[in-house]
Amino acid sequence: MEHRYFGASDKQFPILGFGAQRIVDEHQCTEEDAIRIVNRAIDEGITYLDTAPSYSDGQSEERLGKALRHRRSDVWIATKTHDRTRDGSWRLLEASLNRLQTDHVDEWRLHNLVTMDDLEQCFAKGGAMEAMLEAKEQGIIKAISVSGHTNPEVQLEAIERFPFDSALVALSAADHFIYSFAHEFVPRAVEKGVAVIGMKVMALGKLAPWYEQALRYTFSLPVATTIIGMETMEQLEKNLAIAKRFCPMSDTEQLDFLKEIIHLATPDVLRWKASEWMSGEWYRRD
């Protein structure tokens, strides 16, 4: 697989990253299967793994911890805090470390900042950023990150306020049409040396009829890696095959693809951007 630099650092990752949200009972993935899938991904060269304490009440982290018990040094683990306070974030991090069976995480994110108020809470006195800076100073984390699905203006403001190492943002082809992170956020992030990590590639399955095109669209953006949620070995193998034969979309290919899917730019499809869907609660289901 093609490897790309992680922002301004000398670290590199393959274009396909592993989204661990779905290796849980909630998605009909057993613990045994989860461990097999994660180890197969690592064997095939995937080194970037993303999880969060809110994914099935910690089961995602717990299963990653079991799968990585003897392979911790082979991978980069990113997890998150959805708490906006210092103390609450520390509690989440300590629980994450316990479930992941590790003494450090490589990347810790502010999970899904939806509004400017979310951002203000994190940067306020006693806010989550204090926990992030303390954890980095203590060597418990290596990189500080931010994520968002809804409004690129929030993440733009975040990277202007602080030199985040990375940003995890919604970059499906369907996201192209409204509140576009690809248009509004990615160019500035790249300019500032912030590693961009793509997510929501399949738009909650709505892009399944255009599966390879959907992956190619996001891989063709200036992303450091792209995380795909996978709960079966079949999905992993399919994604690996596409990533291994990846070639960037031409402008003509992209335009033709976008014409085919523009009808999907609706609140029902892009629910993480629709205010009527209560996107502020997205972190609970992300």
Residue 276: what pLDDT?
Answer: 54
- Strand 105-110 relative to strand 141-148, pairing: parallel
pLDDT tens per residue, range 190-210: 999 999 999 999 999 999 999
**pTM, to two decimals:** 0.94
Q: Rg of the chain's alpha carbons, rounded to an integer?
A: 18
The residues near 99 (Cβ < 8 Å, ≥ 6 apart) are 53, 58, 61, 62, 64, 65
Proportion of the chain above pLDDT 70, given as a percent: 96
Residue 283: what pLDDT?
Answer: 35
Residue 274: what pLDDT?
Answer: 80
The pair phi, psi for residue 229, each rounded to 5°, is: -75, 130
Closest CA to 172 of 66, 49, 55, 264: 264
161-to-141, 157, 192, 195, 237 alpha-carbon distances in Å:
20, 6, 12, 16, 40
How far is it, in rounded angstroms, from Cα 110 to Cα 124? Answer: 14
Query: Residues 121-135: what's their mean pLDDT?
Result: 98
Average of per-residue pLDDT values in the chain: 95
How far is it, in rounded angstroms, from Cα 258 to Cα 265? Answer: 10
pLDDT tens per residue, range 21-70: 999 999 999 999 999 999 999 999 999 999 999 999 999 999 999 999 99
